[in-house]
Amino acid sequence: MTDSEKVREELLTHIATSDAPHEFLRAYQLRALADDIKNIPPEKRAEAGRALNELKKEVAAAVEKRQAELLDRDVEQIDVTAPMDINSDSPSLLPAENGSIHPISREIQTMSDILGRMGFTVFESRELDDQYHMFESLNFPAGHPARDDFDTFMTVQKDKDGEPLIAPAHTSTMQNRILRQLKPQLESGQPIAAASIDRVFRNEDLDPRHEHTFYQCEGIYVDKGIHAGMLVATLKTFLESYYKKSLDVRVNPFYFPFTEPSFEFSMSCPFCDGEGCGVCSHSGWIEILGCGMIHPNVLKMADIDPTVYTGFAWGVGIERLIMMKHGIEDVRYFQSAKLDFLRQF
Ligand SMILES: [Zn+2]
């Protein structure tokens, strides 16, 4: 075996198990071989130089391969989810605490499951929208006084008509899109049954019953021959499934621009079963949501013929449903990051 072959075997063996392989790029054995070149006969020097260069390339490739192996090994050893004590001189692992799903997320999942079993397709809403979808398509023409009732947050961004984009104040902002998207289904003989659940925003004064950011669930159902009795039965079924008990329900006339007729929907108090308690102000009833038959103009805006099809719609605040279920007194707890509150769920 020549000196060069011996060096080659030795270096490659060491590199394959080294934790600092790059140090072998300048190994003294390689320098010694280079120094030796001047001692060999001139006619053989060129060949020895080429052999040395080949050996250096081989060493470099082996170093690169070993470095890649080390990188893989180290990445596997780092648990990026492990909590660290960053104030300590030698950071060490802290005992992990169990997190929990936020009560709103958990209840939205429950509501979506119930709606899904009832045949509703659940859509997400959006967190920025134009005035057409927020108002016009829902029968609030420009200048309509009910636009002011929403205390809407405007942004500095403009839509294609030069109007400010809005942080939606209700999930009905999705209604026109959903009606248009599902219209082919309606024409093929299937009803439109859809819900949209998401965050909405209103410039409210905050108190135990009002938040500026909250969640809403809106539902729509459109087909031939749909009437208000079906609306009441659908909402009763949904609320009884959610509260897991029988409820009495009633509707009172109300006004919304996007439904005609419109109703305020009340259920018997799930706490006292209608006997009267502090939660229902001793009336036995709780006004829980707004609903009605979809206004013909709203169907027309989605190119659906209101002389052929009718439908109903409702909108309900999700926090309010959850507060009624768990006896929560203050809506602001949900976004307070109070761990004592969140850990109860
Ligand atoms: Zn009660």
Give distance in angstroms: CA of 73 to centre of ligand 1. Answer: 62
276 alpha carbon to ligand 1 midpoint, in Å?
Answer: 4
CA of 122 to the centre of ligand 1 (A): 31
Q: Which two tokens stand for residue 118?
A: 């009832």
86 versus 268: which is more confidently predicted?
A: 268
CB atoms within 10 A of CB 149: 13
Q: CB within 8 A of 247, min separation 6: which ones?
A: 236, 239, 240, 267, 268, 270
Residue 295 in 3-state DSSP? coil
Question: Could you read off the pLDDT of 63-102 as tens digits, one per residue?
Answer: 999 999 888 887 766 667 776 666 666 656 655 566 788 9
- Residue among 263, 198, 258, 200 at smallest CA distance from 229: 263
- Higher-confidence residue: 157 or 219? 219
Token output for 35: 């120094």
Superfamily in which the 103-342 domain is placed by CATH: Bira Bifunctional Protein; Domain 2 (3.30.930.10)
**pLDDT band at 4, cuts 50/70/90?**
confident
Q: How far is CA 30 from CA 4, 16, 57, 317, in A?
A: 9, 17, 12, 76
Centre of ligand 1 to C-alpha 162, Å, is 49
Distance, CA 281 to ligand 1 centroid (Å)? 7
pLDDT at 128: 93
Strand ranges in 6-152 using DSSP code E only, listed in sequence order? 121-124
Residue 235 burial (C-beta neighbours within 10 Å; 0-12, 13-18, 19+): buried
Contact 237, 219 (CB under 8 A): no
d(CA 180, CA 28): 77
Which of 241, 253, 213 minimizes the C-alpha distance to 116? 241
Over range 231-235, report the average pLDDT: 98
Give the per-residue pLDDT at 279: 84
Cα distance between the two ends of the chain: 75
Distance 132 CA to ligand 1 centre (A): 40
Q: Are 147 and 258 in contact (CB under 8 A)?
A: no
Copy the structure tokens of residue 329.
Answer: 């007194």
Predicted pLDDT at 96: 57
Residue 280 Cα to ligand 1 midpoint, Å, equals 4
Q: How far apart are CA 291 and CA 263, in angstroms?
A: 5
Spell out the residues 6+ positions from residue 49 whose beta carbon is closer than 8 angstroms to its own. 37
Hey, where are the domains in the chain?
Answer: 3-77, 103-342
For ligand 1, the distance from its centroid to the CA atom of residue 263, given in whole angstroms, is: 21
- The arithmetic mean of pLDDT across residues 241-268, rounded, is 96
Q: Quote the ligand 1 centre to 274 CA distance (angstroms).
A: 6
Residue 271 alpha carbon to ligand 1 centre in Å: 5
Ligand 1 centroid, distance to 237 Cα (angstroms): 20
Separation of CA 105 and ligand 1 centre (Å): 26
Tell me the pLDDT tens digit for each residue of 30-47.
Answer: 888 888 888 888 888 888
Owner of token pair 């998207």: 181
For ligand 1, the distance from its centroid to the CA atom of residue 324, given in whole angstroms, is 10
The identity of residue 93, as a single letter, is L
